[in-house]
Amino acid sequence: MAKKLFIKTYGCQMNVYDSARMAEALAPLGYRSVEEPADADMVILNTCHIREKASEKVFSELGRLRALKDERPDGAGPMLIGVAGCVAQAEGEEILRRAPQVDMVFGPQTYHRLPDLVARARRGERALDTDFPAEDKFATLPDRPRAVSATAFLTIQEGCDKFCTFCVVPYTRGAEFSRPAAEVLAEARALAAAGAREITLLGQNVNAYHGAYHGADANGREEGLGGLIRRLAEIEGVERIRYTTSHPRDVDDALVAAHRDVPELMPFLHLPVQSGSDRILAAMNRRHTGDDYRRTVDRLRAARPDLALSSDFIVGYPGETEAEFEATLRLAEEIGYAQAYSFKYSPRPGTPAAEAAEQLAESVKAERLARLQALLNRMQTVFNEASIGAEMAVLFERPGRRPGQVIGRSPFMQSVHVEAAGDLLGEILPVRIAAAHANSLTGVAVAGGPAMPPIGGRAEVRA
């Protein structure tokens, strides 16, 4: 009989991808994914260490799981509990010490060894594996499944060598590593053949991608992200391409040219800036100024005038003055974001900024965050309202809450709700936008309208 596997995912899209691959690695052992932990035979928490709140969730969830594990009926066999992801990587020993109910702890670079970890756990051993192994994790994992949803993630780059002073990622994910281009293209072909129409390329610094070609004629040649996007766009069935998260320092000319030339590359880019103050950017070790960022955005917009932008911001970095915070507000307003994420600075153990003397009071951070979020929300509303009356190509991804409702994405990552009679899931259809809300749009599928190319594009937004 199939065993039940419940995976709970925290953190970034890379964890979402990793969770999918963990499930695939466990399928040959007879595990099938379920939606509830209650009677699961194995529960995995795929965790995030980026901010204090994210990490804290792990131990409270482990408390709940302990109760579930204790309640297992006789004869059901023990519930195996695994902790994966970035908290596991950073605090593996601590988890085993504090949480006796945990059977397996493994990091983002070792989940391909799950079959071995499970075998050890079944023997009653508590297994810890947080190496940074030399072997290619991806080459060891089973092939992608034969059926996937219309939108798929594909990790092409892992780790980070940038060491921003506030950030744990270089410690939890390890050094920057790009998957070989041929391996990425093969996975994209498999995803497209299995039904994916949109592929989002993932990496902590996805535009630092430089995947080698192997083989006799490759001569050590490497492919950057711009070149890789061109090759992906040629794959039959790949109709939309996105990538995240990119770093402003790695936007090279080939990538800008891809935004100009490749219609499959969607006109939406998450390009985190963190702060608008040059002093704070330097203290953060971002290694660019506010004006460098503005110039990068100008180059991208010259190549793709309808490009919509998103960002991450940190407020209340140690020593940030009111004037420096206002520089962030100014930069955000000047760039004009379609959406953005903003966070209070959270001191993370082991990072340089956590040691800084001038930590700001929680109340100052909270007040600045509220002001920045008010501005970002206003900008998002303006952006969404400008879509009213426009016709956009929407890729339908999932059923809505109400019967007959389907939810899809515009080229600009807006979530679009449509009432539809037939089954639109997986379709890319023109939708006339009727109304804008804070976080979504509603629209009507354009019936009998002219056939529209299955891509987003300049001509489609007539706002």
160 sits near ligand SF4 (criterion: CB under 6 A): yes
272 sits near ligand F3S (criterion: CB under 6 A): no
Q: Provide, rounded to whole angstroms, the least separation between the CB of residue 89 and ligand SAH.
A: 15
163 sits near ligand SF4 (criterion: CB under 6 A): yes
Distance CA 107, CA 249 (A): 28
Classified as helix, coil or strand, 264 is: coil
Evaluated on CA atoms 360, 364, 368, 374, the torsion sign reads positive
DSSP string, 123-137: TT--EEE----SS-H
Q: Which does 312 bind (CB under 5 to 8 A by kind): ligand SF4, ligand F3S, ligand SAH, none?
A: ligand SAH
418 sits near ligand SAH (criterion: CB under 6 A): no
CB-based contacts of 88, cutoff 8 Å, min separation 6:
47, 95, 105, 106, 107, 130
Structure tokens at 229: 């996007």
Evaluated on CA atoms 145, 149, 150, 153, the torsion sign reads negative
Q: Is the peptide bond before 245 cis (omega within 30 degrees of 0)?
A: yes
Interface segment toward ligand SF4; rule CB under 6 A; list 9-17, 29-37, 163-171, 425-433: 163-171
Comparing CA positions, the residue from 422, 313, 320 lying closest to residue 374 is 313
247 sits near ligand SF4 (criterion: CB under 6 A): yes
Comparing CA positions, the residue from 191, 189, 228 lying closest to residue 208 is 228
| Residue number, 185 or 315, with CB nearest to ligand SAH | 315
Decide: 129 and 106 in contact? Cβ < 8 Å.
yes
Per-residue mark of binding to ligand SF4, 358-397 (x: CB under 6 A): ----------------------------------------
Strand (E) or helix (H) holding 105: strand 104-106
Binders of ligand SAH among residues 169 to 208 (CB under 6 A) are: 169, 204-205
Q: Which does 163 bind (CB under 5 to 8 A by kind): ligand F3S, ligand SAH, ligand SF4, none?
A: ligand SF4
Q: Provide, rounded to whole angstroms, the least separation between the CB of residue 131 and ligand SF4.
A: 20
Binders of ligand F3S among residues 198 to 217 (CB under 6 A) are: 204
Distance CA 425, CA 150 (A): 8
Distance CA 49, CA 348 (A): 8
Distance CA 22, CA 11 (A): 16
Per-residue mark of binding to ligand SF4, 175-214 (x: CB under 6 A): -----------------------------xx---------
Binders of ligand SAH among residues 330 to 359 (CB under 6 A) are: 343, 345-346, 348
Task: Out of 137, 162, 173, 247, name the contact with ligand F3S by CB under 6 A.
Answer: 173
Q: Provide, rounded to whole angstroms, the least separation between the CB of residue 114 and ligand F3S.
A: 18
# residues contacting ligand SAH (CB under 6 A): 17
**Site residues (CB under 6 A) for ligand F3S?**
11-12, 14-15, 48-50, 85-86, 168-169, 172-173, 204
